[in-house]
Structure 1
């Protein structure tokens, strides 16, 4: 586990800087946020797309020199902060009048905590910032109360002032709700409880990726020898944060399709390897997988274990297979286990 900074010791002069005259200077603002021990990084001007690879910034703060280099190179870029325990932040993204009404109805009144007005002209689109709860595992987005009321934590990021919205307007701290005006509030009990219930209902990633196989439910999983080493690496999740993510997903999906994997079960494995962090990425990944399985494919290449002339098939009749078990399962010869049977291709 990384050593998270003590956010209670953040400098008060940094708080003044991000809401004072320097607030329209992205470099000055970014350095001020960094002085609060926030893990900040640049996003493209007028967009929400990260300029740099940012997922590692959930575990390690960029140093001030790195932040200075980024915004010195791209001075007009916007600023985003990685949410979660490292930055000590959880944000609520209120996206419209219905979401605003739901939040007020649940809490009785809006909490007194720093708040940012989105660049969108709708007055009911804003962000609230809270201290990240110490003993609660959060995720990029949770919507237990309303689809447009997002509780954002670890795995996500949010835009900060003075970034420019696609409308051309700037994100800005609301009057009386800047970091200079009010401290970060503790997460309200009602939201804390909602997130705990959400976490309790949500299966861990490993469980979500586990395939239960039995004749009793009328299906079997066939693990085929012969998938490429690149596909095996993709399924392990090692490519999830790297470049060309979608292309590697497509190649892995084509390989599994060519090896005869059932599309439904292959989709579970591929999504676990891709690790999409939000619904938009998940939909993109599903479309890529569907495209790969939409027509006949050939395996990427054979492994040393499997001569291409006689590629064996392993049928697991019972038990479970998890992502961490894929490698050993594939490397085991079919005759090694009593639950395996040799089939002809």
Structure 2
């Protein structure tokens, strides 16, 4: 709900005095917007009424030194009830809340930066293309700044902005839209970067004759925005060297020598606490062959219209080029550096590489079987295989709590480029060949049947099953609640959560992550069912297009859903490799998983008289040194949260990274334990922690990549989707909105909202028309058609 939904439209044709009176009466009982601001730490300013006899009616503070007089909601209520306006005291007094004021082109701004479309925005009904975006600045708050030429202003400490339900001097009430969402969080550098990019783009559009040509420097091309960002901002110290490699390839393609690239990149790498030796090797690899510049217009000189004088050219060198920066401009800060207290030495990282040999063996197999899938995906699948095989039979004790190594994983990569499904199938081959099929939830399992699958209760039509199916079901009962849900399109799970009839599914999945000894669930159809000794691992790939809308759903961050998941994205550029020759799954790989499942960990005994007992579990012992390292990593994550080095929505994710690290360490340890003599104790050694922390840091970086990707413009992606819609409407008679949503599997939640948004835009652009079609019988239906070109 937005505060706009509480308002009623004023009668058409009334003047500002009458409209203001209507708005004044409506707002007396509507504190929604003020309460929203107060919840997010706002402090307020008393502002003159809309028709006051002052220099700036409706906008002028009425008290002297108001900049240093932060008022609470209770302080301004009496003033508000008297018909006066209220302002937000921006900046440091309001927990970092600031305003980005666009006096024009608001809709274009939101299209250029889609990551801000869900941000809370202050609007007036009579001025739909102007408004103020509510932001929260983390860290140091920059000073207020104006970009007069593009009607953009950043309101910071020392400034105030009038907020709802105040009334504009024209008599119209201000409104707060997207009031269900928290303010979007930025650091100062990235916020200013956004503003400067917008200003440069608007100036380029509004003054085409004066736009600067792209000129080379002594024959060199101009590096891409991503490369320039890397040179200016660098990345976190635990970023992998892919960003360095891409920047070096771009400089190579732009004509810079290897020596020049080292001169430019080594200082950046040093600021990231990396060794020169590693950087030089990466740069040398980038210069091992000819490369193309990342920016296709790197060597463009510009049109004849823009031919400039030497003076013009000298200015052009420093101006933004006409390159489309939208795909290279992340709207969130990069991953913050790991505090020094938890840093590993080079020697410890080297030791850690010796732990978890199964993971390396699996990666070697999977890179041959699915060579275009990224290594980080194969590493993740290896951990998911181990997690599946453990099946709640290993744990770590902390206080009264037991931590089991189940994992929730979602891997996201563009289709084709990273062959994500091929990599997924490689993991499935290992599981099935090793005899672990009985641990997998069946294909096509529905949310309604999930609880039944995890209990010992047979399906209602069990007696009608074939005997083979009955035998398989009986085999699964020994591990009925210790299962793995491998889903080929994992984002479908998130879509289910948004369907009304599956409202409780998300809460159930949240509870299952904790591996409780007993959970009682009541369903309308099956009544009460009990799941005992739950252990659920979830793993599956998806695409950024499918996942991106869910990453913008605030509730998934605040209720702890995404904090439970490892969100994994590629950390290397895509590479084309042709299909491999046929070869079998390595027997040693299969044997290792099989031994872990059936020999080293005990299988529960069937109980004909009652429920199956819990699988016998082994406690993995922790050395004092490892516990100290775990503690330091926990302290590091706590420090980043306490210093507000990350957006607030990531607090829960950061809070769970230490737990995920110990789960990964546990899996590495139990995998190595299989290779040891029988009777050896299961101990998580420091080397297991060293590798587990490195792996977890890779997943921390992956989380930030996904956040950045979710904030980037998606024009190309929408273009492909538009073509799909138009093609379907041209070839199918199922052309109502409902039928189209059904065929595209976009019936609910953010996916349906995205479909309706694109359809409405196509109608406004007159690409489509929507007509009411009447049949001889039955009700009429609104149907969509592709508009024919008059000149065709």
* TM-score, structure 1 as length reference: 0.41
Please identify the structure whose Cα radius of gyration is greater.
2
Greater relative contact order, per chain length (Cα 8 Å cut-off, separation 6+): 1
Q: TM-score, normalised by structure 2?
A: 0.19
User: Which structure features the higher share of helix residues?
Assistant: 2
